[in-house]
């Protein structure tokens, strides 16, 4: 009864005092998205809008929502969605907004999206389960190459803090416009790792997610730059600087964490620009990694730099040092498909062994989450 | 030139392929908020809206925005704002949205808010500066009292990972409707700590931010419950359970981090319900803490439980064990003001020494950030 009194007191406070914070709640009059099994209803209260579009990552083009007779709200229903994590926005008379009825949003480059999950199948790996969880840390290292501190996201598996053993390390790199937060937020990396490790499908490992934009110290809003607009193409990107200095990140991790410090226990993988980085870094550090993953990678050098030269000879050296896995994945509709096809043809002609995974869809996070889920079980098995 | 080519390629991709992700950008046609010194302009493109309100935490009531002649956009300007971190939302014909032109949002309980910072004065402590940064970790501990894993946010100061020294610990508790993410996100705790420590104003310390809702394993969206609606008043809150089991959190921290394990190096503080928790936990563990901070606290027991009984005797024991600081703060307009006044009168009558800080405004994060900024320099000085 006392608890009810407190609640009543605070509720009165909500109603009466505008300046009282910590008491905000979404207006529950509009529930959206409403997920029931594989069907999802979307609802938006925008009484004066002339047109509302739903733009969603499971549809090729935005679809118009319709005004529902019963309550004058904008409505759309997607049926029989396959398991997965999905994102969407509304466009109201030309202005893009996230769903005002949901608090679950993600930032991708310079835009927010509302997200939800359809459970089942591989998407259960994207859901937080009642299993042991690893730790996710935002940590800064001093980059002597760049002359300033830079931020990393680091995942340590459940049991890391209480044990003494050392772990293998995966370096997991984001794409253009991304940053050190992308793989864990958009990519659900720590959730996927927790699930695969708990199920015995992946080896317990440390995962390091650095910031691949040399000009950034950290993600937008998390650095001394302040609350700046997001720059899709940061200066000093894909010019060899980041790849050349990657050794200092490995040094930092090896001196601050209990790692196995040999190539058999190191992997590097990345999406898009992160695939580009992984391709060149692994070839230029041929004794550092035995596992390489290129997810929807850009391949062709975007600048002139020694790190991008003599790649054939470097790849041969990488192979001669005992590569265990060279894994390439891309979607059929990806705009980098042809670039990757050329790489595959070239590697085949060189007799360079690799595993190829072709998926549906294009250059998008639904593929990158899937690739990570498939790639992790292949690591550190030897 | 190569970089320009890549950019052009990707830009074309943006234009031509809807399903390509990782390439989203906010429409820069509407820049909002636009902060120039202490003036802020707000702009919203909502061509068919009948009424748009700006609801902001620096104004007592929502204000109507006006339609600007030149471009038909909704406009408002706030002038001469004092330094601080501010939050706001728009209300468009009854529907609350965050600013579609900004990616900088915070969740408070069940609602998102757009935020910005006016620099200067104490608000510089809320801005990320080019100084050494601590690490922020999301970590899980097994609660034997509750029978399930629960998540903590832990701040370790710059230098923790590279050194061997031990640190004092502040336990920093959130309010009702909050969770283990609240103090670091809404409260800017790690930013404030970095700044005060780098300036020599606060001792380097570990700060532990647990989840005070017994029924929650972690913040909404971060537990096996999934993407649920936010429950402002969680079950099993303010009933003595959390306070009784607080020792297991201290044990976890003392066994996993390099801490000084004595009362002279432990502090506990919290806001609102977290002040309530701090008040009862410190009194019931009289040899555990020498520093206590009650920020806009609820005080009167909300349930019947031994932890809430015999408080006078418990406070005397706490004092006798050598309390260094008992710090109480509240805003003049806070709805808990009378409750705190009664506590002050009672403590004075008991000759229980405390420091009192009365601020302007009410039950809101602008006060709690300020209180933290003032409280941290007082800790661990003996």
Residues of B in contact with A298 (CB under 8 A): 6
CB-based contact, A308 to chain B, within 8 Å = no
Q: Which residue of B has its CA nearest to A99?
A: B97
Q: What percentage of chain A reaches a pLDDT higher than 70?
A: 92
Please state, rounded to an integer, the average pLDDT across all residues of chain B.
Answer: 92
- Alpha carbon of A152: minimum distance to chain B alpha carbons (Å): 10
Interface test mutation site (partner A, options B5, B6, B73, max chain A beta carbons within 10 A): B6
CB within 8 Å of chain B, chain A residues 160-189:
161-162, 175-178
Burial of residue B48 (number of CB atoms within 10 Å: 0-12, 13-18, 19+) = middle
Report pLDDT for B21.
39
Q: Is the pLDDT score of B8 beyond 50?
A: no
Q: How far is residue B191's CA from residue B83's CA, in Å, rounded to a whole number?
A: 16
Give the pLDDT band (50/70/90) at residue A281: very high
Report pLDDT for A9.
38
CB pair distance less than 8 Å for B361 and A19: yes
From A119, A147, A171, give the residue that closes a domain.
A119
Report pLDDT for B298.
98
Using alpha carbons, select from A373, A261, A371, A282 the residue that is nearest to residue A326.
Answer: A282
Same domain flag for B153 and B68 = no
Residues in contact with A255: Cβ distance below 8 Å, sequence separation at least 6, in sequence order: none
Query: Per the domain annotation, does B1 fall within a domain?
Result: no
In this predicted structure, which of A10-24, A210-224, B59-73 has the lowest mean pLDDT?
A10-24
From A78, A103, A119, give the residue that closes a domain.
A119
In this predicted structure, which of A18-27, A249-258, B2-11, B274-283 has the lowest mean pLDDT?
B2-11
CB within 8 Å of chain A, chain B residues 67-126:
87, 92-98, 100, 102-105, 107-113, 115-117
Residues of A in contact with B181 (CB under 8 A): none
- Alpha carbon of B242: minimum distance to chain A alpha carbons (Å): 15
Q: Any idea what the CATH number is for the domain that residue B58 is in?
A: 2.60.40.10
Least CB–CB distance from B26: residue in A110, A138, A222: A110
Residues of B in contact with A5 (CB under 8 A): 302
Using alpha carbons, select from B220, B217, B237 the residue that is nearest to residue B228.
Answer: B220
Query: Per the domain annotation, does B158 fall within a domain?
Result: yes
Q: Is the pLDDT score of A16 beyond 70?
A: no
Give mean pLDDT, residues B157-169: 95
Same domain flag for A44 and A181 = no
Same domain flag for B102 and B161 = no
Q: Is the pLDDT score of B20 beyond 70?
A: no
Give mean pLDDT, residues A170-179: 97
Report pLDDT for B252.
97
Q: Is the pLDDT score of B175 beyond 90?
A: yes
Residues of A in contact with B222 (CB under 8 A): 128
Q: Which residue of B has its CA nearest to A57?
A: B19
Q: Is the pLDDT score of B201 beyond 60?
A: yes
Interface test mutation site (partner A, options B42, B87, B103, B217, max chain A beta carbons within 10 A): B103
Residues of B in contact with A109 (CB under 8 A): 22-25
Give the pLDDT band (50/70/90) at residue A5: very low
CB pair distance less than 8 Å for B22 and A178: yes
Burial of residue A93 (number of CB atoms within 10 Å: 0-12, 13-18, 19+) = middle
Give mean pLDDT, residues A111-124: 95
Same domain flag for A40 and A184 = no
Residues of A in contact with B47 (CB under 8 A): 50, 93-94
CB-based contact, B303 to chain A, within 8 Å = yes
Q: Is the pLDDT score of B2 beyond 70?
A: no
Q: Is the pLDDT score of A12 beyond 60?
A: no
Q: Any idea what the CATH number is for the domain that residue A316 is in?
A: 3.40.50.1820
* Owning domain of residue B49: 18-119
ipTM, 2 decimals?
Answer: 0.92
Q: How many CB pairs under 8 A join A and B?
A: 293
Look-up: residue for tokens 């089991």?
B245
Q: Is the pLDDT score of A268 beyond 90?
A: yes
CB pair distance less than 8 Å for A230 and B6: no
Query: Per the domain annotation, does A8 fall within a domain?
Result: no
Q: Is the pLDDT score of B60 beyond 80?
A: yes
CB-based contact, B48 to chain A, within 8 Å = yes
Q: Is the pLDDT score of B52 beyond 90?
A: yes
Q: Is the pLDDT score of B10 beyond 60?
A: no
Report pLDDT for B349.
98
Give mean pLDDT, residues A186-194: 98
Query: Per the domain annotation, does B7 fall within a domain?
Result: no
Please state, rounded to an integer, the average pLDDT across all residues of chain A.
Answer: 92
Q: How far is residue A175's CA from residue A218's CA, in Å, rounded to a whole number?
A: 14
Give mean pLDDT, residues A195-222: 97
Same domain flag for B326 and B217 = yes
Q: Is the pLDDT score of B15 beyond 80?
A: no
Query: Per the domain annotation, does A21 fall within a domain?
Result: yes
Give mean pLDDT, residues A119-129: 95
Q: Is the pLDDT score of B169 beyond 80?
A: yes
Give mean pLDDT, residues B162-183: 97
Give the pLDDT band (50/70/90) at residue B233: confident
Chain segment B326-364, per-residue pLDDT in tens: 999 999 999 999 999 999 999 999 999 999 999 999 999
Report pLDDT for A25.
45
CB pair distance less than 8 Å for A23 and B132: no
Give mean pLDDT, residues A145-155: 97
Residues of A in contact with B149 (CB under 8 A): 130, 132-133
Residues of B in contact with A136 (CB under 8 A): 137-138
Report pLDDT for A71.
93
Q: Is the pLDDT score of B19 beyond 70?
A: no
Report pLDDT for B29.
76
Query: Per the domain annotation, does B185 fall within a domain?
Result: yes
Chain segment A63-92, per-residue pLDDT in tens: 999 999 999 999 999 999 999 999 999 999
Is residue B260 a contact partner of residue B167, using CB atoms and an 8 Å limit? yes
Same domain flag for B195 and B248 = yes
- Alpha carbon of A76: minimum distance to chain B alpha carbons (Å): 18
CB within 8 Å of chain A, chain B residues 214-233:
217-218, 220-224, 226-227, 229-230, 232-233
Same domain flag for B144 and B225 = yes
Is residue A40 a contact partner of residue A34, using CB atoms and an 8 Å limit? yes
Give mean pLDDT, residues A303-309: 97
Chain segment A324-380, per-residue pLDDT in tens: 999 999 999 999 999 999 999 999 999 999 999 999 999 999 999 999 999 999 999
In this predicted structure, which of A7-21, A29-43, A146-160, A253-267 has the lowest mean pLDDT?
A7-21
Same domain flag for A165 and A106 = no
Same domain flag for B70 and B131 = no
Q: How far is residue B99's CA from residue B112's CA, in Å, rounded to a whole number?
A: 10
Query: Per the domain annotation, does B3 fall within a domain?
Result: no
- Alpha carbon of B322: minimum distance to chain A alpha carbons (Å): 33
Report pLDDT for B24.
40
Report pLDDT for A13.
38
Report pLDDT for A382.
61
Same domain flag for A77 and A158 = no
CB within 8 Å of chain A, chain B residues 56-75:
57, 59-62
Give the pLDDT band (50/70/90) at residue A229: confident
CB-based contact, A136 to chain B, within 8 Å = yes
Q: Is the pLDDT score of A11 beyond 90?
A: no
Total count of domains within chain B: 2
CB pair distance less than 8 Å for B22 and A177: yes
Rounded alpha-carbon distances, angstroms, from residue A129 to A126, A159, B144, B229:
9, 17, 19, 18
Query: Per the domain annotation, does B2 fall within a domain?
Result: no
Report pLDDT for B16.
34
CB pair distance less than 8 Å for B109 and A25: yes
Report pLDDT for B382.
61
Q: Which residue of B has its CA nearest to A160?
A: B256
Residues of B in contact with A21 (CB under 8 A): 57, 87, 108, 363-365
Same domain flag for A249 and A108 = no
Structure tokens at B286: 């009289």
Using alpha carbons, select from A322, A332, A249, A334 the residue that is nearest to residue A292.
Answer: A322
* 3-state secondary structure string across chain A: CHHHHHHHHHHHHHHHCCCCCCCCECCCCCCCCEEECCEEEEEECCCCCCCEEEEECCCCCCEECEECCCCCCEEEEECCCCCEEEEEEEEECCEEECCCCCCCEEEECEEEEEEEEECCHHHHHHCCCCCCCCEEEEEEEEECCCCEEEEEEEEECCCCCCCCCCECEEEEECCCCCCCCHHHHCCCHHHHHHHHHHCCCCCCCEEEECCCCCCCCCCCCCCCCCCCCCCCCCCCCCCCHHHHCHHHHHHHHHHHCCECCCHHHEEEEEECHHHHHHHHHHHHCCCCCCEEEEECCCCCCCCCCHHHCCHHHHHHHHHHCCCCEEEEEEECCCCCHHHHHHHHHHHHHCCCCCEEEEECCCCCHHHHHHHHHHHHHHCCCC
CB pair distance less than 8 Å for B61 and A148: no
- Alpha carbon of B149: minimum distance to chain A alpha carbons (Å): 8
Give the pLDDT band (50/70/90) at residue A27: low
Report pLDDT for A28.
56
Least CB–CB distance from B138: residue in A57, A135, A238: A135
CB pair distance less than 8 Å for A140 and B132: yes
- Alpha carbon of A97: minimum distance to chain B alpha carbons (Å): 5
In three-state secondary structure terms, B244 is: helix
Give mean pLDDT, residues A286-310: 97
From B99, B119, B139, give the residue that closes a domain.
B119
Rounded alpha-carbon distances, angstroms, from residue A328 to A122, A164, A272, A357:
20, 34, 11, 6
Q: Which residue of A has its CA nearest to B32?
A: A229
Give the pLDDT band (50/70/90) at residue A14: very low
Residues in contact with B320: Cβ distance below 8 Å, sequence separation at least 6, in sequence order: B286
Give the pLDDT band (50/70/90) at residue A60: confident
Same domain flag for B133 and B210 = yes
């Amino acid at each position: 009864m006392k608890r009810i009194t407190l609640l009543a007191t605070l509720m009165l406070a909500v109603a009466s005092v505008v300046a009282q914070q910590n008491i905000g709640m979404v207006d529950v009059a509009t529930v959206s998205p409403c997920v029931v099994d594989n069907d999802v209803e979307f609802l938006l209260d925008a009484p004066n809008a002339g047109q509302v579009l739903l733009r969603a990552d499971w549809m090729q083009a935005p679809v118009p929502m319709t005004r529902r007779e019963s309550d004058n709200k904008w409505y759309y229903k997607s049926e029989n969605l396959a398991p997965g994590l999905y994102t969407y926005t509304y466009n109201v008379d030309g202005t893009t907004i996230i769903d005002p009825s949901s608090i679950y949003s993600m930032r991708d480059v310079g835009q927010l999206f509302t997200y939800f999950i359809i459970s089942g199948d591989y998407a259960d790996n994207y859901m937080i389960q009642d299993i042991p969880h690893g730790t996710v840390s935002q940590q800064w290292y001093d980059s002597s190459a760049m002359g300033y501190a830079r931020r990393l996201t680091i995942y340590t598996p459940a049991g890391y803090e209480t044990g003494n053993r050392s772990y293998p390390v995966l370096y997991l790199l984001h794409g253009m416009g991304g940053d050190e937060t992308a793989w864990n937020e958009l990519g659900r990396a720590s959730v996927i790792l927790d699930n695969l490790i708990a199920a015995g499908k992946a080896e317990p490992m440390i995962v390091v997610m650095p910031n691949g934009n040399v000009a950034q110290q950290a993600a937008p809003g998390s650095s001394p730059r302040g609350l700046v607009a997001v720059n899709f193409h940061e200066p000093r990107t894909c010019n060899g600087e980041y790849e050349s200095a990657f050794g200092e990140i490995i040094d930092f991790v090896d001196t601050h964490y209990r790692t196995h410090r040999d190539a058999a226990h190191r992997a590097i993988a990345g999406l898009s620009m992160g695939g580009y980085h992984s391709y060149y870094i692994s070839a230029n550090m041929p004794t550092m990694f035995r596992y390489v993953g290129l997810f929807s990678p850009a391949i062709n050098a975007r600048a002139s730099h020694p790190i991008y030269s003599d790649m054939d000879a470097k790849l041969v050296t990488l192979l001669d040092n005992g590569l265990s896995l060279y894994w390439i994945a891309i979607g059929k509709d990806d705009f980098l498909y042809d670039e990757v096809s050329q790489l595959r043809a070239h590697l085949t002609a060189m007799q360079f062994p690799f595993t190829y995974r072709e998926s549906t869809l294009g250059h998008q996070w639904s593929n990158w989450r899937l690739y990570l889920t498939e790639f992790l079980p292949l690591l550190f098995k030897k």
